[in-house]
Copies of this chain bind each other. A is one copy, B any other.
Amino acid sequence: MPHTNVVLSLSCRDQPGIVAAVSKLLFDAGCNVVEAHQFNDAETHLFFMRMRFAMLKPDASIAALEAAFEPVANEFGITWTMRSLSEKQRVMILVSKFDHCLADLLYRWRTGELAMDVAGIIANHPRETYAHLDLDGIPFHYLPVTKPTKMEQEAQVWELIRAANTDLVVLARYMQVLSDGLCAKLAGRCINIHHSFLPGFKGARPYHQAFERGVKLIGATAHYVTPDLDEGPIIEQDVERISHHNCVEDLVRKGREIERRVLARAITWHIDGRVIVNGTKTVVFKD
Contacts and interface: CB of A to CB of B under 8 A. Distances in A.
Interface of A: 14-20, 23-24, 26-27, 30-43, 48, 56, 100, 103, 106-107, 110-111, 113, 131-134, 136, 197-201, 212-217, 219, 233-239, 243-245, 247, 253, 256-257, 261, 278, 280-287
B134 A132 contact: yes
Contacts of A20: 20, 23-24, 26-27
A38 B39 contact: no
Contacts of A19: 19, 23, 26-27, 33, 36
A199 to B, nearest CB: 5
Contacts of A215: 198-199, 234, 237
Nearest to A113: B253
7 contacts: A15-B32, A19-B23, A24-B24, A39-B245, A100-B111, A111-B256, A243-B287
Contact of A199 (B30, B200, B243): B200
A7 B287 CA distance: 18
Nearest to A39: B35
Copies of this chain, count: 4
B40 A16 contact: no
Nearest to A43: B247
Given A35-B38, A36-B38, A239 B214 contact: no
Nearest to A286: B287
Given A14-B32, A39-B244, A110-B132, A239 B236 contact: no
Contact of A217 (B42, B216, B219): B219
Nearest to A232: B214
A237 B197 CA distance: 13
B30 A34 contact: no
Contacts of A285: 287
Given A16-B33, A39-B244, A214-B233, 9 more contacts: A15-B32, A33-B38, A42-B247, A197-B217, A212-B280, A214-B234, A216-B235, A217-B239, A244-B282
A14 B35 CA distance: 12
For A15, A200, A257, the residue with the greatest tally of chain B CB atoms inside 10 Å of its CB is A200
B40 A35 contact: yes
B199 A198 contact: no
Contacts of A35: 38-40, 245
For A36, A43, A214, A236, the residue with the greatest tally of chain B CB atoms inside 10 Å of its CB is A214
